[in-house]
Amino acid sequence: MKFLSSLTLILSLAILTLSANNNDLKPCAGTTKSGQPCNMKVTPPETYCRFHNPNAIHCAGTKKDGTPCKMQVTKQGDYCHYHSSQSISHPINK
Ligand SMILES: [Zn+2]
Ligand SMILES: [Zn+2]
């Protein structure tokens, strides 16, 4: 009986932890282009979603209209999958 009750305790603790994690999600502090608050949920201590993170590294490519690409990449100087061809057509040894 002692084993069963401790198992129940562990299970309820696990359920509590899971629901606590869900409650920890906070809305992104960023705003969308239309000025509305961003609806993306983030996990503290993050305050911005991946689209609004000021520390995010963006694609080194440029869009057709000449503006910098906003796609997030993992490394500085990387290209998103849309612009990976730009890195090939513009080699480093220009
Ligand atoms: Zn956001
Ligand atoms: Zn890009």
31 and 37 Cβ atoms separated by less than 8 Å: yes
Nearest to 83 by CA among 65, 66, 69, 67: 69
What contacts 18, CB < 8 A, 6 or more positions away?
A: none
Ligand nearest to the CA of 87: 2
Query: Residue 41: which of 50, 33, 16 has the closest Cα?
Result: 50
Q: Which ligand is nearest to the CA of 37?
A: 1
Band (38; pLDDT cuts 50, 70, 90): very high
What is the model's pTM?
A: 0.44
Contacts of 14 (CB under 8 A, 6+ apart): none
As a whole-number percent, the residues of the chain with pLDDT over 90 amount to: 43
For residues 49 and 32, the answer to whether their CB atoms sit within 8 Å is no
**Ligand 1 mean position to 79 CA, how many Å?**
21
Q: Report residue 90's pLDDT band, with 50, 70 and 90 as the boundaries.
A: low
